Amino acid sequence: MIRVNAKPQNPTPLKGQNILVTRQESSDHSLSKKLISLGAEVHNHPLISIHPPDSWDSFDEALSQIDKMDWVVFTSRNGVLYALKRLEELGLSIEVLNSLRIACFPAAKKILQKMKIEPDLVPSYHQSEGFFQEFKKTNPSGLRFWLIQSEEPRSKLQEDLQTMDTEIVSSTVYCNRMPKTDFSALLKLLHEKSLDWIVLASASAVQNLFSIIPKTWDNEWSNSLKVACLGKITARSAINHGLKVDAQPEKQDFQNLIKAIVNHVSNFGKRA
C-alpha cells in the first residue's frame, strides 16, 4: 500500500495581508491577535466604542421584579459583561438569575459557563430569528421574557415573541458610541490603498465608517479593498453603502469569520 502524505497546513495563511480591524478589542477576546498569529499585519482602528448606558433604570427595575420573570435573554456577549458589572455594583452575584431559564448566543454562553452558569437555550443561528425558532418549540405563551440588550437593539426578537402571546421586559445594559479619536491614520490607510481587508462587525461600524469618509472622495478608495462582515445585518449595511462583501461566515462568530477570510485568500490569492 502506498501512503500519501497530507500536504502540510500553512501556519501563516494570511502572511502579507494588511487587515483593518474596526472593533473595540479586549484582552480576553482579541480578533487582532488571532489574525496576527496567522501572519497578517493588523491595523486596529475601532469605529465603535462600547459604554454603559446613560441610565440603569430599565435594568434595575426589571431586576426588582425578577421573581415575576420566566426567561432572561442575552442577545450579545456585551450584554452579559455589562449585566455582570451592574450586578457587582449592586453587591449582587449572577446567582440572582438562578430562578430563571437563560437563553443566549454561543459567545455569551462561554462567559456564563466561566461563571458556572449553564444556559438553557443556545440557538445555532446567530440572529434574533434563531431565538424565535427555538422558543417556538417551548410553547412560551403566557411567559415573561427579560431581554437584556444594547441601547438600540433590533425590534425583530421582541416583535416575534409578542406574536406568541408573551410578555416582554427590555433592559438596556450597554450602548454603542462613535469613538472620540483622531481618524487621520485610518483615513490615510484607506486613501493610500494600503489595506487588503477591512473587517466590519456591526452595522453601526459601517455607518460610522462612511460618516468619516471625506465628501470629496469618490468610490475609488474601496475598489481594491476586500470586505469581511461578521453577519447578515452588517453585510446588508455594507452593500447598501456601496461595498462588495468578499467574506461572510455562515455561522456568526469571529472564529468562522477568520476562516472565511483565510478561505478567500487561499482560493483567490493575494494582491499583487
Looking at residues 38-59, what average pLDDT do you find?
96
The one-letter code for the residue type at 171 is: S
What is the per-residue pLDDT for 156? Answer: 85
What is the per-residue pLDDT for 130? Answer: 82
Give 155 or 181, the one with higher predicted confidence: 181
Distance of CA 114 to the CA centre of its chain: 19
Q: Which of 117-131, 156-170, 178-192, 255-269 has the lowest mean pLDDT?
A: 117-131
Instruction: Render pLDDT for 251-263 as a digit per residue (tens, 0 to 9).
Output: 888 889 999 999 9
Q: What is the CA radius of gyration of the chain?
A: 21
Instruction: Assess whether pLDDT exceeds 80 at residue 4.
Output: no
Instruction: Assess whether pLDDT exceeds 70 at residue 28.
Output: no
**How far is residue 225's CA from residue 204's CA, in Å, rounded to a whole number?**
19
Give 227 or 30, the one with higher predicted confidence: 227
